[in-house]
A and B are shown apart, each in its own frame.
Chain A
Amino acid sequence: MSGTASKRPVPVPSNTSRPFWEAAKERRLVIQYDRQAKRWQFYPRAIGLDSGRRDLEWREVSGKGSVYSYTVTHIPTAGFEDKVPYALAIVDLDEGVRMLANVIHVAPDDVRIGMRVKVCWEEIGEDAVYFAFEPDLNS
């Protein structure tokens, strides 16, 4: 494949995750909520991890949160060759659930634990919108 730029992987929705990606196309962040346990969970599962019941619904969330931890990647994976160095974080959403995502619109070395962030969206392929986070200057 020399001479061909490698492509960033594009997610293929599963029957479980499809509502998440449908909402992402509209740039809305929806997360699974276990109605029995009254707890959020991410990534999408087929059952409530706490209750052991399939009484799950999708709820739109604020998209606001804070950086729980981060790393700056210096050796890129496929499709990220022109982005190094780039920042990745585990983000604690204010609702009480955790997501792994890129942190963009900020110098990678300026990302800090505890930093307030909000969700943003990147077009990563035809018909594919992926979540990321950016500094939230209003909180």
Chain B
Amino acid sequence: MIKNHLINRDIAIVAYGETKIERRSGKTVFEFAADVMEQILSRCGLKPADIDGFATNVSHSESANQYATTYMCDALGLTPRFMHVSDHGGGSGLACISRGAMAIQAGMCETVLVLGADAPTTSWNGKNLGYRPEFWDPTGIQGPAGAFGLLMHRYMAQYDLKFEALGKLAVSQREGAVLNENALESLRKPITIDDYLNSRPVSSPMRLLDAVMFADGGNGVLMMSTERARALGFKKIVHPIAYSEIVNFNGHEAQPDITETGFSVVGPEVLDKAGLAARDIRMFHPYDDFLIAMMLQLEQIGFCKHGEGSDFLLGTDVTWRGSLPINTGGGQISAGQVGLASGLTNLVEAVRQIFGEAGARQVADASNALVTGIGVIPYGGTWSVSTAMVLEQGQ
């Protein structure tokens, strides 16, 4: 029996921090982390000693360091009584928040900093081992873009994929990035559907503008019990009210349908845990490594039926003004993917929107949000990790 450890709204996110996203910044992971922590401490009037819980992702830059998370505590002056590191790839951010909540509920700590920082375009030390050196690298597959090219052709064989629908999604997210001062500067220019359709093929039918670009940066949130948040006088709070994850979805199957993802499990489940239907979701902040990944999520979480993602997108305004705003800050595809800290970029945008601090791109009714994470490419498959969390404005 799977239970919802967040349903009592006893956990509160009280602050967020986010750096400008940059390419070849020349900066270290520790500098980005310091920027994020300073923003959060300044906003809350707290000091490092007030943080007694710490959760973070494995970064590309520090992944060769077996003690990266402990070193991070030392670099930031933290003395946590609870420490956690997730290697869910782009699912890490939500995984960290879910575990931070459990640690607070279990009484291990009171105040958890969930932080993501990575600088892969400055320092790359990541090395995917496992099946890859023998059964992936020698084939010349163009990394995740190749895997998603395979996925897209299979989707096209089973369903109706309209490229203008993906183009509309790209154009809508880009509009958000233009209004997002933290987005990668080179991407803060509007694009058209023709720009998308005419962009360079990478691994057919995957085009350049289907795909995310790696960059350097950091982001994070501060969590505590709702009781403590009230006692400390925080006026703006966000409750995570439901979370689900699945790892290695279909991994034991020899010939699974690769168009079916873990969101077919965690999507309906997380909505059920929150007591909501897809139509009740005010904003959707899906993990976006590739445009097709968002379309599959829309279908499998239940915003539309399987195979009807193209028509759903063509018939729905998904900008910040629309009926279902999607990744209003540009998402990763238009703001840049901050390495493996990426799982928090869209989460931080959702928190910013619920706080009413999104400026020119503020969503009118930002009272709740569905945020997701995706991580890790399995052999011959789509993605291994699917995470989903519902956020709600605290009253």
Q: A71-B146, A71-B149, A100-B380 are in contact. List 20 more A-B contacts (CB 8 A).
A: A8-B138, A9-B133, A10-B138, A11-B135, A12-B134, A13-B134, A43-B131, A69-B151, A69-B153, A71-B142, A71-B205, A74-B204, A75-B203, A76-B140, A76-B142, A88-B139, A88-B141, A97-B254, A98-B254, A130-B138
Which A residue's beta carbon lies closest to that of B208? Answer: A75
Interface status of B314 (Cβ within 8 A of chain A) = no
Contact B254 A40 (CB under 8 A): yes
Instruction: Tell me the B residues contacting A by CB distance below 8 Å.
Output: 131, 133-143, 145-146, 149-154, 157, 200-206, 251-252, 254-255, 258, 379-380
Give the distance to chain A from B249, nearest Cβ to Cβ, in Å.
13
Which B residue's beta carbon lies closest to that of A80? Answer: B140
Contact B153 A73 (CB under 8 A): no
Query: Binary interface profile of A, 81-103, with partner B (CB < 8 Å = 1, else 0)?
Result: 00101101110100011111110
Instruction: Tell me the A residues contacting B by CB distance below 8 Å.
Output: 8-14, 17, 39-43, 49-50, 68-77, 79-80, 83, 85-86, 88-90, 92, 96-102, 113, 124, 130
Residues of B contacting A102 in the complex (Cβ-Cβ under 8 angstroms): 139-140
Q: Which of A72, A76, A80 contacts B204 (CB 8 A)?
A: A72
Contact A71 B140 (CB under 8 A): no
Q: Top 4 nearest A-B pairs by Cβ distance? A: A71-B149, A69-B154, A11-B134, A80-B140
**Given A70-B150, A75-B203, A98-B380, CB of A9 within 8 Å of CB of B137:** yes
Residues of A contacting B204 in the complex (Cβ-Cβ under 8 angstroms): 71-74, 85
Which B residue's beta carbon lies closest to that of A84? Answer: B140
Residues of A contacting B134 in the complex (Cβ-Cβ under 8 angstroms): 11-14, 17, 43
Which B residue's beta carbon lies closest to that of A100? Answer: B380
Contact A69 B135 (CB under 8 A): no
Which B residue's beta carbon lies closest to that of A14? Answer: B134
Which A residue's beta carbon lies closest to that of B141? Answer: A88
Which B residue's beta carbon lies closest to that of A16? Answer: B134
